[in-house]
Amino acid sequence: MKVILAGINVEADLVKEAETVLGVEMTPEVISAAYARISRDPRDVNILRKEARKEVKKARRSNESIVFDMGHSSIAEHAVLNFDIIGISRIAVEAIEHFRLASYTEKSQRYIRLGRDHVIPKEIVENGFRDEFFELVELLSLYYEELYKMIIESGSASGTAKEDARYLMPLATSAQIGMTVNARTLEYMISRLSCHPLAEVREFSDRLADIAIRKVPSLVKYPDPTEYYKAMPLIRAEAGMASSAKPDEKFKRVDLVDATAHGDTALAAGIIFSGSDSSYSDSYAAASKMKKEEREAIIASTMKEMKSFDGVWREFENIDMLFEVVVSASCYAQLKRHRMTTQTVQPYSTGLGVSIPDSVKKAKGIGIFRKAIKSSESLYRKISDKAGISADYLLTNAHRRRVLVKINMRELYHFSRLRSDSHAQWEIREISDMMCALAKERFPYGGAILGGKDRFPAIKKSQA
Ligand SMILES: Cc1cc2nc3c(=O)[nH]c(=O)nc-3n(C[C@H](O)[C@H](O)[C@H](O)COP(=O)(O)OP(=O)(O)OC[C@H]3O[C@@H](n4cnc5c(N)ncnc54)[C@H](O)[C@@H]3O)c2cc1C
């Protein structure tokens, strides 16, 4: 066996220096080109890689033909790029982090005391609302500062004050992200974002495209907007308007709206299937015929040696759940990071109320909180007709939206270990606890030891 280190992602300034000293162009396309040849060239892959490095132009031509002419697109996944993204709004971050096959780390509003950096959207300026917009974001910053002090003075820790005062900050607040993405996802990201309704997001797409076309031209060839993607928001809005579904402002914060029928049986059947040579239907029939206690014992046996950091077995993915949740922007910022779920979102709505942290109530800060929300909503309403979706920049982290979360039991275990844990932020912890309670009620065996990692020993003991 040989295992050879073929490449590492290196910081860009160092790449530039190395290119100058060595007089060569360094590009991850070489790795893609070498791997693309594996299937058809009898030579070892390390030899193919060295050959590709000597002839970057040839490597590029080969990528173009294999990725785009033949459709062997996964080749582009071997080229990985890192981006520092600075001075982008919170609402634009949502559009970027929509893409599940990339990695992100964001400067946390939860841990950092926020300054007054905001993005002023082009649409707001063009529609003549620049001054009012600026006044509002300044006002919200003042309310944030005041609330922060009130929460500290009421005896809460500065961590709680930072975490909770930020509920008043607008979605225009500047954010920073480190992003790692492969060339295949990058091309998709550029194309989709180039059709986004917000100008800031389209500008971000242009900046990414400039870099991609310079650094990985053979792997990002179709970054342009397409009519197909452009039509999506309108088609969705028309479908919503044409339907008989009524606007519903009564809501549960978490509802289990659909789930695998007989999920515990499907899970036990999956375990029988992987341990036998029976078909799935025979395995399911066998699991169905078992007494409840026997099914429970099979499922419990998979958890016997489990520690808090262990994930449950893949068979737990046989149980699917569809949750409808109503969360604040602050909570959504965390929820959307769970890339193994499928999330479908509605726009933010002023009709769903706002999330108010307990520390604000304890600090007698409800008055100031409400004043801030009122100011945000009154300008939001005033400019919505003209400024369209860009009015969302004025909503705050406390404003809410509905999200459909499709999640399987395996991922719910992972989610609950992180989000029902005492380190988790309070709102997502509440949401996670409610999701776990509903899942356990529906699937008492499969969901038996859902919960935060801090409570893992106690939860496990209670099941013994
Ligand atoms: C207490 C706490 C504080 C946090 N603070 C911050 C913060 O300050 N800034 C910030 O940006 N984020 C923060 N996060 C978010 C965190 O980094 C994760 O993005 C988030 O919890 C989602 O977890 P995940 O990536 O494991 O989940 P998912 O995306 O659902 O992934 C599930 C699992 O799939 C696997 N997986 C998915 N994608 C990949 C991949 N590309 N490569 C390898 N494995 C993969 C991993 O095993 C992962 O655990 C925080 C989270 C917690 C719980």
Mean pLDDT of 106-117: 76
Tokens standing for residue 17:
């220096």
Closest CA to 258 of 343, 324, 325, 339: 324
The Cα–Cα gap between 425 and 144 comes to: 18
Q: Measured from the CB, is residue 221 less than 6 Å from ligand 1?
A: no
How many angstroms separate the alpha carbon of residue 333 from the centre of ligand 1? 12
Residue 195 DSSP SS3? coil
The Cα–Cα gap between 292 and 107 comes to: 48
pLDDT at 243 over 90: no
Closest CA to 120 of 44, 48, 203, 231: 203
Q: How confident is the model at residue 114 (pLDDT cuts 50, 70, 90)?
A: low
Residue minimizing CA distance to atom 18 of ligand 1 = 337
Q: What is the CA radius of gyration of the chain?
A: 26
How many angstroms separate the alpha carbon of residue 308 from the centre of ligand 1? 16
pLDDT at 154 over 80: yes
Tokens standing for residue 27:
């590009």
Q: How far is Cα of residue 27 from the mean position of the Cα atoms in its chain?
A: 28
Query: Is there a contact between 122 and 337 (Cβ–Cβ < 8 Å)?
Result: no
Mean pLDDT of 16-28: 94
How many angstroms separate the alpha carbon of residue 339 from the centre of ligand 1? 8
Residue 221 DSSP SS3? coil
Query: Is there a contact between 429 and 330 (Cβ–Cβ < 8 Å)?
Result: no
Helix (H) or strand (E) holding 105: strand 102-106
Instruction: Give the residue, out of 179, 180, 334, 405, with the most ligand 1 atoms within 8 A of its beta carbon, to mutate for a pocket test.
Output: 334
User: For the purposes of burial, counting CB atoms within 10 Å of the CB of 414, is it exposed (0-12), middle (13-18) or buried (19 or more)?
Assistant: middle
Helix axes 56-63, 29-37, angle to 10 degrees: 60
Mean pLDDT of 60-69: 84
Q: Measured from the CB, is residue 414 less than 6 Å from ligand 1?
A: yes
User: For the purposes of burial, counting CB atoms within 10 Å of the CB of 436, is it exposed (0-12), middle (13-18) or buried (19 or more)?
Assistant: buried
Helix (H) or strand (E) holding 88: strand 80-89
Enter the pTM of the model: 0.94
How many angstroms separate the alpha carbon of residue 415 from the centre of ligand 1? 9
Q: What does each C-alpha distance from 358 to 153, 160, 402, 433 come to in angstroms?
A: 14, 10, 22, 17
Query: Is there a contact between 135 and 356 (Cβ–Cβ < 8 Å)?
Result: no
What are 415-419's contacts with CB under 8 Å, separation 24+?
415/338, 415/341, 416/450, 416/451, 416/452, 417/308, 417/309, 417/451, 417/452, 417/453, 417/456, 418/452, 418/453, 419/334, 419/452
Mean pLDDT of 232-258: 86
What is residue 190's predicted lDDT score, i.e. its pLDDT? Answer: 97
Mean pLDDT of 191-199: 95
Q: How confident is the model at residue 113 (pLDDT cuts 50, 70, 90)?
A: low
Residue minimizing CA distance to atom 34 of ligand 1 = 340
What is residue 122's predicted lDDT score, i.e. its pLDDT? Answer: 96
What is residue 258's predicted lDDT score, i.e. its pLDDT? Answer: 98
Q: Measured from the CB, is residue 236 less than 6 Å from ligand 1?
A: no
Q: Which atom of ligand 1 is nearest to the CA of 425?
A: 1
For the chain, give the percent of residues with pLDDT over 70.
98
Average pLDDT of the residues of the chain = 94
- What type of residue is 138? E
Mean pLDDT of 189-209: 96
Q: At a CB cut-off of 8 Å and minimum separation 6, what does 199 contact?
A: 121, 122, 123, 390
Query: Is there a contact between 272 and 245 (Cβ–Cβ < 8 Å)?
Result: no
Residue minimizing CA distance to atom 19 of ligand 1 = 337
Residue minimizing CA distance to atom 44 of ligand 1 = 103
Q: At a CB cut-off of 8 Å and minimum separation 6, what does 261 contact?
A: none
pLDDT at 74 over 80: yes
Of residues 293 and 245, which shows the higher confidence score? 293
pLDDT at 339 over 90: yes
How many angstroms separate the alpha carbon of residue 103 from the centre of ligand 1? 8
